[in-house]
Amino acid sequence: MQAKATWDGGVNLECAVVKTTEGYKKDADPIYKVVVELSHDGHAPMSMKVLHMAASGAVYDRDDQYVQTNLTNTPGKLEYSWTGTMAKNRAYTMRGSLWRNTANTWFYSETQFRGSAQSYGMLSRCHVIEGE
């Protein structure tokens, strides 16, 4: 996935996982990289695609794993969030957040809940994918 590094219309990021909480079981195929594609119309987010790359080579598309998603942003800031319900087990919900801090560094995090209890959390630091 290569894209222009400019903010005009969106941004494509590659993120390295910095920290995770594994919940009640250890992941046998850990995620080593997250790719985030954010598009916007200049005022509001239009879409956010999130792909998890696993150590085995498997790719997990959050659009396939979570349904009823909702994408929002914090007005006046480069902060975006999506929420959704797991397609295979509706007892789980997820919140993904993408933001850029004042040092111009992007971060992406996810928090999964089962009911009201957190079952998984991940924080990653991102860089813009340079390209064509």
pLDDT in tens, 24-47: 456 678 888 999 999 887 767 889
Residue 2 lies in a domain: no
Q: What is the pLDDT of residues 109-128, one digit of tens each?
A: 999 999 889 988 999 999 99
Say how far apart CA 66 and CA 94 lie, in whole Å: 8
Residue-level pLDDT at 5: 38
Stretch 56-69: mean pLDDT: 93
Which domain does 94 fall in, by range? 10-128
Residue 4 lies in a domain: no
Whole-number percent of the chain with pLDDT over 90: 58
Residue 5 lies in a domain: no
Residue 3 lies in a domain: no
Residue 86 lies in a domain: yes
Residue 49 lies in a domain: yes
User: What's the number of domains the chain is made of?
Assistant: 1
Residue 32 lies in a domain: yes
Residue 117 lies in a domain: yes
Residue-level pLDDT at 7: 53
The CATH number that applies at residue 90 is 2.40.128
Stretch 48-66: mean pLDDT: 93
